[in-house]
Structure 1
Amino acid sequence: MSLIVRVAARGEGVAQDGRHAAYAAPGDTLKPDGAVMPGPHHQTPPCRHFPRCGGCQLQHLDDVAYADFVRDRIAGALAAHDLTAPIREVALSPPRTRRRATLHAEKGGRLGFAEEKSHAIVDIVECHILIPELFALVAPLRALLPKLGLKRRADVHLVMLDQGADILVTGLAAEGLAAAEAITGFCERHAVARFAVDDGLGPETRWEPDAATVTLGGVAVPFPHAAFLQATAEGEAALVAAVREATEGAGTIADLFAGLGTFALALPGRVYAAEGARDAVAALKSAAARARKPVFAEHRDLYRRPLTVAELDRFDAIVIDPPRAGARDQMPALATTTAKRLAYVSCNPSSFARDAKILCEGGWRLGWVQPVGQFRWSTHVELAAGFSR
């Protein structure tokens, strides 16, 4: 008999004797035969599709154990680089708050998430992570797709925008009058904001009665097809609050990997926003101009052309929100800039800790880390951190 003491990065429980057990929570007991005896933090998974559905890996953890898992992931990543910092209480998004997701569909009518470590599709009839408005479209979409000529596997991208649901189906042509009428009828019945298909040549909008927007920092921003959006409104609010705290008092701010302006539009003062996606830059420029926000957006690939020290020295504070790989190419200049404040937002504790080590070696001090659990019951961990000189 051995006590489960923690949850590893991929979600399996780790016992005192070093054994690993799937779907075990801290406080569970691992028997010699490998069976798990549930403990105080082992909850009954709420969804009938768990653990087959790959949308969630940790529904067997209660909120206490799940928050501990998120904090431990960050603490472990920092420790691997000989770093420590105060780690705040996890900002955990409630169930049924995910406002974007990608489902998979196939000719036979199945529609849902893929199974864990598999391409097989779980034909979902319930979901405890999606917001109800998006989940309500699953059954109607299951009926619609065969009418559009679905002949092979397709991906269905769902996002909740200001005007309603945005639907993009990739791997589908939806040709002919019957398909067009089916799309129109579906969108009218279900108050869809936009419907588009992409057969490999780029998204083609088939329904958009009003321009599709998402409100960021109080500003309505045009939403490009498949653009990035924080997974939950609660997670976005937690990250924005952390970034505002980390850059408080700054008059001029650089927002690197700015996307549609999640942070740039929410910050006071003058903001320079650098982003590599052209459609996102165009959307941010137009939104900032209409709202008369002092935001200058530039199309710039920060992997090929990172900001120089001289450019960074013009700003009082820096915000950086790179992809999962981190921002290794930008770190040398960030480590030596004279800017006094830096907010680092990350969706990967490992690459964050690597970059944080470079910053600290350059004279920055890591003041705090705010964990954010937007992808509830998954092993995906996000954070925001405040650095100062």
Structure 2
Amino acid sequence: MTSESTIDTIIRVAARGDGITVDGRHAPLSAPGDTLAADGTVTPGPHHQTPPCVHFPTCGGCQLQHLDDQSYAAFVTDRIASALDGQDLSAPIRTPHISPVRSRRRATLHAEGKGGKITLGFTAEKAHTIVDIKECWILDPRLFALVQPLRQLLRRLNFRRRADIHLTLADQGADILITGFAPEGLAAAEALTKFCEDHKIARVAFDDGLGPETRWEPDAVTITLGGVPVPLPPASFLQATPDGEAALTAAVLEAIGKANTVADLFAGLGTFTMAIPAKVYAAEGARDALTSLKAAAHRTQRPVYPEHRDLYRRPLTVAELDRFDAVVIDPPRSGAREQATALADCKTPVIAYVSCNPATFARDAKELCDSGWRIDWVQPVGQFRWSTHVELAAKFTRPAPPSSS
């Protein structure tokens, strides 16, 4: 019989961040080992740490700062294991790789100008209110150092609305795209130029609904992927931290081994394409990303063969997939249901699947495993530290058929 003290103990953290007891009670902001009283009071246990940021838990940038490193790593693992279990699957799950604090190289902040005040930060948890951040434990310090100067710039630009500010650390420095606002006039141009010169900004672009318009870019902006500088379109997708990118790339390279020909599906700017020492067919649906990848490959004479291809409407066929020694696939959060159907039936020896959504990964993995594939291992990566967002890389192979004697 389960004791009352066990029932009231938080045993795990659910996908959305609430702690759960044995009997299924939920408690926000609780950690494994905490105890939950009948009135809902949480008593911290050995894995409940003091959140380091003054804005937690109001700020929506983090949901799990109250977990110590051990329980946060366990949460990352459990997210993947639970998703697989929901599809009646299991797999060897490796020790999670967790990115360090203050290492995020890209983020979207929200700004509001009202009553002469500029509010700038992340939105509040489960709300549209903007938390005016005074510190941040996830942003790279080089990005956070721009928060107060951006407030001052927006004030000089007579900013009186809401807008999004997309920040990315490029090779040349900070790349900034402001959407929902575009300043006009000579005074605004002079204020923007001074801001960029003072803070060594790589690029500033504005998008008021008609597409990004670059206002400052003294040198062509690039991001180095696999040792190759790749042209960086404004607000392009990148792995959130260099550390996380390195962990995922290492897992992909381990999975594909010494493959001579590789298909990189949903290739983006070439995060994995540029790191693979083989002939690579790279399929990507976003034209700006593909153009950048193509330019970088051409300049460095890499054996890369890019194709503009919407893999949801026109996934690679089984016959096309059979040409490759390995397939790397890194779809958006919705997964790759259409492409997984063809992958399930192809003869490619190995698949390296990178995912930012354990649920859709498990769904696609189910289709592969039902067709005879096996998950050799899963490498969890927690590069969105203290959030409920979990990423992973997994290796799929087909077991050799038993020999007939």
TM norm structure 2 = 0.95
Aligned to 1:38: 44
2:331 is the alignment partner of 1:325 = no
Question: Where does 1:33-182 land on structure 2 (aligned, <5 Å)?
Answer: 33-108=39-114, 109-182=118-191
Deviations 1:125-151 (A, max 9, x none): 000000000000000001111222322
Identify the residue that residue 229 of structure 2 maps to in structure 1. Answer: 220
CA positional deviation for 1:32: 1.4
Give the aligned partner of residue 275 of structure 2: 266
Structure-1 separation of matches of 2:25 and 2:319: 52
Across the two proteins, how many residue pairs are aligned to each other?
389
Instruction: Give SS of 1:298's match.
Output: strand
**4+ residue segments displaced more than 6 Å:** none
User: Within 5 A, what are the aligned runs for 1:275-286?
Assistant: 275-286=284-295
Give the distance between the partners of 1:26 and 1:332, measured in 2 at CA.
Answer: 38
Picking from 375, 379, 395, the partner of 1:370 is 379
| 2:338 aligned counterpart, secondary structure | coil
Map of 1:183 onto structure 2: 192
| Separation in structure 2 between the aligned mates of residue 336 and residue 88 of structure 1, nearest angstrom | 27
Give the superposition deviation at 1:16: 2.0
What whole-Å deviation, never above 9, does each CA across 1:85-121 have from its counterpart, x for those lacking one? 1100111000000000000000130000000111100
Deviations 1:230-267 (A, max 9, x none): 00000000000000011002100000000000000000
Structure 2: gaps spanning 5 or more residues: 399-405
Q: Distance in 2 between matches of 1:146 and 1:337?
A: 57
1:82 aligned partner, one-letter code: D
* 1:287 is the counterpart of 2:296: yes
Partner of 1:206: 215
After superposition, the C-alpha distances for 1:172-227 in whole angstroms (9 at most, x for unaligned) are 11111111111100000001000111111010101101000000000000001121
Deviation track 1:25-54 (CA, whole Å, cap 9, x = no partner) reads 000011111111000000000000000000
Gaps of at least 5 residues in structure 1 are: none
Of the candidates 323, 339, 343, which is equivalent to residue 352 of structure 2? 343
Identity of aligned residues (%): 70
Query: Is 1:4 matched with 2:10?
Result: yes
Corresponding residue number in structure 2 for 1:308: 317
Q: Distance in 2 between matches of 1:361 and 1:16?
A: 32
Residue of 29, 33, 42 corresponding to 2:35: 29
- State the 1:361 CA deviation: 1.2
- 1:381 is aligned with what amino acid? V
1:363 is displaced (CA, Å) by 1.6
Aligned-pair RMSD on alpha carbons?
0.7
- Give me the TM-score of the superposition, normalised by structure 1: 0.99
Q: Does 1:229 align with 2:229?
A: no
Contact 2:167 / 2:235 at 8 angstroms: preserved in 1? no
Find the residue that maps to 1:357 and give its secondary structure. Answer: helix
Cross-structure match for 1:379: 388
State the distance in 2 between where 1:62 and 1:56 align.
14
Amino acid paired to 1:124 = I
The one-letter code of the counterpart of 2:12 is R
Which deviations, in whole Å up to 9, do the C-alpha atoms of 1:46-92 show, x marking residues without a partner?
00000000000000000000000000000000011111111001110
- How far apart, CA to CA, are the structure 2 residues paired with 1:7 and 1:150? 41
* CA distance in 1 between partners of 2:135 and 2:235 (Å): 24
CA deviation map 1:351-370 (0-9, x unaligned): 00000010111121110000
